[in-house]
């Protein structure tokens, strides 16, 4: 499809959106390519600029295009595959294994009284504390995910003194504290970016975000971590392989 069909009951903005998507998928438009302006697309396809704007806006939200103020609209880099959900590896390990350049910024690391929901999930007794760790992960110098870990303090009391910059937390827990992650309960849902998400991840407010909550258990079925991650929806997608039992 390379032209708009006004004889079918399909909105013109959607037809234009699919034309651009097809050009990206077939390599006619490559990552980093600058798209024609709204005016140029409007003239080429004989449609209004608001119609063009709607098509481009939806492709930006889907992560196929990206806008740069004062420069224009560009084809985005291919989305990351957040496929680590099907294997027990951390985000850091998964991205590193696939050859990406990673960077971590530790935002907070402190001892806390956990909220009741967290304490219950981690099977903590009254008065037991958690080590709270908040980090921002970068892939190829772009912020992609920020994560909050809640780890029972009595399991690894020296963790607060550890340097968690640019290293795998779970590898550290295994090697230093003999806490070996074995299985996890994972929930995943799409949400809209909060002001905090927008600030940390460089998003527009209410842009798509993937919210993942994970309770990790060791070989003795003991919960050793509850972490909450918020991933950029425009930079990645979850791909999971399922098998018939």
Identify the CATH number of the domain in which residue 47 sits. Answer: 1.10.10.10
Number of domains in the chain: 2
Q: Judge whether 180 lies within some domain.
A: yes
Are residues 45 and 122 both part of a single domain? no
pLDDT along the chain (245 residues), means of 10: 81 93 90 94 94 93 85 84 54 63 89 94 95 92 92 95 87 92 88 91 88 92 94 74 62
Residue 94: the pLDDT is: 65
Q: Which domain holds residue 220?
A: 80-237
Are residues 49 and 152 both part of a single domain? no
How confident is the model over 45-91, as pLDDT tens digits? 999 999 999 999 989 877 889 888 889 999 988 766 655 544 555 66
Are residues 67 and 104 both part of a single domain? no
pTM confidence score: 0.67
Q: Judge whether 244 lies within some domain.
A: no
Identify the CATH number of the domain in which residue 138 sits. Answer: 3.40.1410.10
The percentage of the chain sitting over the pLDDT mark of 90, rounded to a whole number, equals 54
Are residues 149 and 51 both part of a single domain? no
Are residues 229 and 159 both part of a single domain? yes
Residue that terminates a domain, selected from 31, 46, 75? 75
**DSSP string covering 166-235, please?**
TS-HHHHHHHHH---EEEEEEEEEEEE--HHHHHHHT--TT-EEEEEEEEEEETTS-EEEEEEEEEETTT
**DSSP string covering 76-140, please?**
PPPPEE-GGGGTT--HHHHHHHTT--EEEEEEEEEEEPPPHHHHHHTTPPTT--EEEEEEEEEET
Q: Judge whether 3 lies within some domain.
A: no
């Amino acid at each position: 499809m390379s032209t708009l069909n006004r004889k079918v009951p399909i909105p013109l903005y959607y037809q234009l959106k699919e034309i651009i998507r097809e050009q990206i998928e077939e390599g006619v438009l490559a990552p980093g390519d600058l798209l024609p302006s709204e005016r140029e697309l409007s003239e080429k396809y004989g449609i209004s600029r608001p119609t063009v704007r709607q098509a481009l806006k939806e492709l930006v939200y889907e992560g196929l295009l990206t806008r740069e103020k004062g420069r224009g609209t560009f084809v985005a880099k291919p989305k990351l595959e957040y496929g680590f959900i099907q294997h027990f590896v951390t985000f850091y390990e998964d991205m590193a294994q696939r050859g990406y350049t990673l960077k971590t910024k530790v935002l907070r690391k402190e001892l806390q009284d956990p909220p009741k929901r967290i304490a219950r999930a981690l099977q903590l007794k009254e008065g037991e504390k958690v080590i709270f760790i908040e980090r921002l992960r970068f892939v190829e110098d772009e912020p992609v995910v920020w994560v909050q870990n809640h780890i029972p303090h009595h399991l690894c009391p020296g963790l607060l003194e550890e340097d968690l910059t640019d290293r795998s937390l779970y590898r550290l827990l295994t090697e230093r504290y003999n806490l070996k992650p074995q299985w996890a309960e994972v929930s995943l849902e799409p949400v809209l970016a909060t002001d905090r998400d927008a600030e940390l991840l460089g998003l527009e407010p209410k842009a798509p975000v993937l919210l993942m909550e994970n309770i990790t258990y060791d070989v003795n079925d003991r919960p050793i971590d509850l972490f909450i991650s918020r991933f950029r929806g425009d930079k990645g997608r979850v791909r999971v392989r399922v098998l018939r039992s």
